[in-house]
Chain A
Amino acid sequence: MRIPLSWLKEFVDVEAPAGEIAERLTFSGTEVEDIEVVGGGAEQVVVAQVTAVEPLPDDPRLRVCEVEAGGERRLRVVCGAPDVRVGGKYFLVKAGGRLPTGRRIGAEKFGGVESEGMLCAEDELGLSDDHSGLLEVEGDWAPGTPLERVMPPEPVLKVEVTPNRGDCLSVLGIAREVSALYGVPVRLPPADPLAEEEPPVTEYVRVEIEDPGDCPRYTARVLLGLQPGPSPFWMRRRLRLCGLRPISNMVDVTNYVLLECGHPLHAFDLDRLEGGEIRVRRARGGEKIVTIDGVERELDAEVLVIADGRGPVAVAGIMGGQATEIGPETRRVLLESAGFDPVRIRRGTKRLRLASESSYRFERHVDVARVEWASRRAAYLAQRVCGVKAARGVMDVYPRPARPRVVSCRGERVRQLTGIEADDGEIAAVFRALGMQVTREGQELRVTVPTHRADVTAEVDLVEEFARIYGLDRIPTHPPAVPMVGEEASRFDGLERLRRALVGLGLQEAMNYSLVSAELLDELDPDPASRRVRLKNPLSAEQEVLRTSLLPQMVESLALNASRQAAAAALFEIGKVFRGAAEGAVAEEEHVAVGLWGPVGRGVFEQRRPVTPEEAFLRVKGVVEGLLRAMGIREWKVASVDSPVFRRGMGVEISVGEERAGVMGILRPDAAEKRRLAPPPALAELRAEILLRGAESPAAYEPPPQYPGVRRDISFIVAESVKHEDVVRVIENAGPPELARVEVFDIFYSERLGRGKKSMAYSLEYRSRERTLTDEEVNEWLRAAAEALRKELGAVIREGPETA
């Protein structure tokens, strides 16, 4: 909202500069976002009086004017305005001067005549976009008076009013705040005397309110003898300064009062109202109205309307109808000033998708008690600006007059909640400055709240009023007192441990939106679509479903890096996934995703060697195993899984105990190719819950071994399909309790070994807790291992017990 400072100062006597007022308003809850100075920056723009006008011979549309502009000689100015006349006073920008809009004017020749300046229309002065004619200077200004003296640059406060303070949505409302802050009284604008004539208003109009819940008060005045035309310059200028477009005198008056007092008014052409009848009621299904913006709108029972004998003539509190609006022929006016239920207006604006300056204020509360006064103020102004007379009296339907609210407030409570040590007298003084009446009753202050403050209903509201006017900067601070020690936060801390472990493993943390497109999930999430939670009101197709897996976006993140010339990426994300559960409930689960692409985890001089899918898989498996160990999990299992996300044969499920802990694998080749991710990335997704459970179990201490271990290598040829897991199982089953470790260290395929064969090499370590082992017993154990491998896996031993 825009508040011209000069207008504000009509209501409060404050000498302070705009900046200081703005600051004090901001720190009392009415934020002044900016101060715009309108009209500054003009150079050599002065009042000029035309002394002669002659047509320009070469161009009949132009005239040569001689003007008196305060200088030693008169100036010659070429002018295109049709309304220029001798004796008229206008603003002249001299050649070489500068307009408030920033435009510079040079000496120009028209039809052989050099113009020494330009006479200005409103648009050229930056006052409006009106270019229909010259702006006449009103008042007794001598030629040569600079523009800045006639129209001083005007500071305009740009104010942001919080939704609870509907009473501040006017110049007067802000003036009340300034009054409280500076301790000066508020001066109301005049509304009297009103020139009235018989017959009384009741002869012209009847008013009926269907439901006072929707419309607690409706007043109507009748104004007679309207001469439609433009409103005076000062009024137009203020409307402009506030961002409103002047329309015509009567409409401008209603808008002026809206800006000034916060009361939205509406002027009907009385002669176009059917049957001199006003009914405030809900619209009926099927009713329509063309509003003054020219749009036909369908109405229903959610919408409150003003109807005449025929049907709706205005959408109550939101916008008038075209059929009854003030036009050039209007002579008799019905002036409406009313109060409407904020909720009803809000429903109406939502239903019609239509908002206005008027509805904005009604939604935030308009002081019903002052409705009649606002009507009088508008009639008073119309009398001066439009030459009207009022029919005697006012139609005022006000079934249940509002009474000022009384709220009690304990000084002790104010001191306790704010921490400010102010005595009751200081507290009461603040309330009085806000226009409240205060009496004392025992330990309590009884505060009568003025009707415009609908937001003050309880003691805490008064605490806030005190704090914000007294000054939040006066709230004392003390060294932080720590009244208790926070308890542990196992989930929060656990996730942070997880994060640190992954960063320690060399991965970069990524973060994606919780909302994704269904299309992406269709492609890269194995879960059935039926378990997805779709928004009722998505903003776009890209973000319409809650994610059920972190992997689809992980793939997209890797692809983004690939598309930006990255050679490799190792990312992880910790975040929630969501699945529909029974009866509309949504299950949330924290997941960890890992995505590796390109030569990651390799040395500096190994970057160019191509990454095979096998290597990529073992890398991500290494990360997953590292993470499991870091989180204190010692045992897990992997099993092949068929998943649309992973390449066939290269997707596995990880389980811890009996529980599914997650999946990992190599991305399906077509999904990778589509995103130009070559070679395909390796992915993993784990349930954080399982990992965090591991972290809770304490690590058991085991003393380091005292006796040396004995290592033996064994290598053998087996069928390609024999798994490492199988080899380890066979060796462990065949081994004595002294078998401490079984580690694979080489695998190779070769023509020499034969088709479908591979060579595997393992390092075995035996160790006893009681003694040093002898070569003989170790060799015996190794022979047993070799025998078991031969028998169970058909292994052909290449190097082992016989060659040792």
Chain B
Amino acid sequence: LHASEHVLRRRATGRKLFHSVGGPTDAGRQGRGKSFIDFAAVRRQFRLHLCVEGAWPGVGGYMQLSEIQAMARKALEEAAAAGTEAELEAVRARYLGRKGRIPALLRELGKAPPELRPQAGRELNRLKAELAELIRQRTAELRRKGEEQRFFDYTLPGDWRGLGTRHPVNRVIVEVVAIFRRLGFAVAEGPDVETEYHNFDALNTPADHPSRDIQDTFYLPGGGLLRTHTSPVQIRYMETHRPPVRVVAPGRCYRRDTPDATHSTNFHQVEGLYVDGRVSLSDLKSDLAFFARELMGAGVRVRFRPHFFPFTEPSVEVDFSCHVCGGRGCRLCKQSGWIEIAGAGMVHPKVLSAVGYDTGKYTGYAFGMGIERIAMILYGVDDIRLFYENDRRFLQQFGW
């Protein structure tokens, strides 16, 4: 009865059988820690069951009910006291085995006085079941105890295939883009293979500008070139969108630089562009100040230095106060307290005209920053070539 009920209950609730082991020992087990047999309760139960007047012939004579009672107590105590599986087995054989005492008594039940027979049979069967259950539980307990006593080395390495790692350059790109998206920027992208028009002409770069040199720019047979910056995305985006325009454009750029610790034939930039009715240098500085704090930390400040780019006027270079020393001067910032991060400025009216924007109506700012450079600053990497070497020992330092 108990067993089937428990199984049903288990199916219904999904709980472990362990919790619903019932029978006479159940109540006693509740609230106890390690040993779940409450011997006092066991005895109480059997006293009740066996507290019947009379006797019937046992093996080699009549056995008093009180004797059965004593045997039951003894059997249960022996089972409870057994310290090894072998001892338990001996108890089982003595009472429950084919030649054991309980089967023997049951065989002799027919000799008992008829009025006692049903009750004695019930009680003996109950004792048999209870003892079997106790031995089963005790066996499991002893086995578990044995296992728990075995030494376990919890210092072994965990065994689950771990996460991989992200490339530091892409980490920085995603982070930079995420910060500007919080400022309401959309993401724009453009091709790596560009036209001379988009890369230079439309960006107000004179025909004889040194950057157009065959020495500095990779040219392709069809007349195209590998973009030298992400700025052509500005042009492409404005050609297809009307103001207001507020985009960041991450991407790969190419320059014909002989590779060394700070030069690479390809590298990455993130470009920013904001064109609207009354965009000012003050807006540029404010947005970059937000960016600086988000990227490098709350105390980081921004300053502008005048500079020259053909496609912006005024043009500035943007420095962040050094996040390592807080601007006091250290090795990273070469004792200056400042780190050069980006080039920026107000979009040159000729650039706005090139895409058909009314320069009387619209002004805008633009900025561009080198991602490898930022990654080198953030992670203290001193050779740009490490980003393209793919040595696991390098890659695994940047995590997920």
Contacts and interface: CB of A to CB of B under 8 A. Distances in A.
Interface of A: 26-29, 31, 162-165, 342-343, 346-347, 350, 416-420, 458, 460-461, 463-464, 467-468, 472-473, 475-487, 489, 491-492, 496, 499, 502-515, 533-539, 543, 546, 557, 560-561, 564, 566, 569-572, 574, 576, 578, 580, 583-586, 588, 601, 603-605
Nearest to A563: B391
Interface in B170-188: 170, 174, 177, 180-187
A486 B389 CA distance: 35
A472 B305 contact: yes
A564 B393 contact: yes
Interface string B232-272: 00000000000010110010101010100000111000000
Contact of A464 (B170, B266, B313): B313
A560 B395 CA distance: 13
B188 to A, nearest CB: 8
A27 B336 CA distance: 14
A503 B349 CA distance: 45
B219 A509 contact: no
B293 to A, nearest CB: 10
15 contacts: A27-B303, A460-B313, A472-B316, A478-B283, A480-B287, A483-B184, A499-B166, A505-B164, A508-B396, A509-B167, A515-B218, A534-B221, A537-B219, A572-B164, A576-B252
A584 B224 CA distance: 8
A138 B87 CA distance: 117
Interface stretch (B90-98, B123-131, B155-163, B325-333): B155-163
A514 B192 contact: yes
B388 A513 contact: yes
A162 B282 CA distance: 23
A128 to B, nearest CB: 30
B381 interface: no
A419 B224 contact: no
Give the interface size class of chain B: 35 or more
Given A484-B246, A539-B265, A502 B186 contact: no
Interface in B375-391: 387-391
Contacts of A492: 177, 187, 189, 250
Contacts of A419: 280-283, 285
B306 A464 contact: yes
Interface in B301-339: 302-308, 313-316
B281 A486 contact: no
Contacts of A583: 222
B306 A537 contact: no
B280 A418 contact: yes
Contacts of B162: 506
Contacts of B157: 604
A29 B193 contact: no
Nearest to A484: B184
Q: Which 4 pairs across A and B sit closest by C-beta, in order of nearness?
A: A584-B222, A419-B282, A29-B306, A464-B314
Nearest to B161: A506
B31 interface: no
Contact of A513 (B183, B265, B393): B265
A585 B388 contact: no
Given A482-B183, A486-B246, A536-B220, 14 more contacts: A29-B305, A29-B306, A418-B282, A463-B346, A473-B304, A475-B285, A478-B286, A480-B289, A487-B186, A509-B395, A513-B265, A515-B218, A584-B222, A601-B161
B321 to A, nearest CB: 13
Interface string B361-380: 00100000000000000000
Contact of A511 (B169, B220, B305, B306): B169
B210 A163 contact: yes
B390 A557 contact: yes
B-side binding surface: helix, strand, loop or mixed? mixed
A27 B315 contact: no
Contacts of B289: 477, 480
A460 B189 contact: no
A537 B266 contact: no
B313 A461 contact: yes
A472 B192 contact: no
B223 A584 contact: yes
A463 B348 CA distance: 11
A486 B305 contact: no
B184 A569 contact: no
Contacts of B180: 486
Contacts of B221: 533-534, 536, 584
Contacts of B390: 510-512, 557, 560-561, 571
A515 B313 CA distance: 34
Interface in B186-226: 186-187, 189, 191-193, 207-208, 210, 213-214, 218-224, 226
B290 interface: yes
Nearest to B213: A350
Contacts of B282: 418-420, 475-478
A460 B192 contact: no
Nearest to A480: B290
A387 to B, nearest CB: 42
A482 B182 CA distance: 8
Nearest to A507: B164
Interface string B86-109: 000000000000000000000000
Contacts of A416: 278, 280, 363
Nearest to A603: B159
B141 interface: no
Contacts of B278: 416
Given A162-B307, A535-B219, A584-B221, A509 B393 contact: no
B164 A504 contact: yes
Contacts of B285: 419, 475-477
A9 B381 CA distance: 42
B145 interface: no
A552 to B, nearest CB: 13
B119 interface: no
A161 to B, nearest CB: 9
Contact of B256 (A420, A512, A537, A564): A537
B192 A588 contact: yes
A482 to B, nearest CB: 4
A472 B307 CA distance: 11
B186 A511 contact: no
B348 A578 contact: no
B45 interface: no
B44 interface: no
Nearest to B349: A460
A449 B391 CA distance: 57
A578 B214 CA distance: 21
Contacts of B158: 604
B218 to A, nearest CB: 5
B349 A483 contact: no
A515 B266 contact: yes
Contacts of A475: 281-282, 285, 304
B32 interface: no
Contact of B400 (A458, A503, A586): A503
A66 B282 CA distance: 70
Contacts of B84: none
Contact of A586 (B166, B220, B308): B220
A503 B164 contact: yes
Nearest to A581: B222
A124 B276 CA distance: 63
B209 to A, nearest CB: 8
B159 A504 contact: no
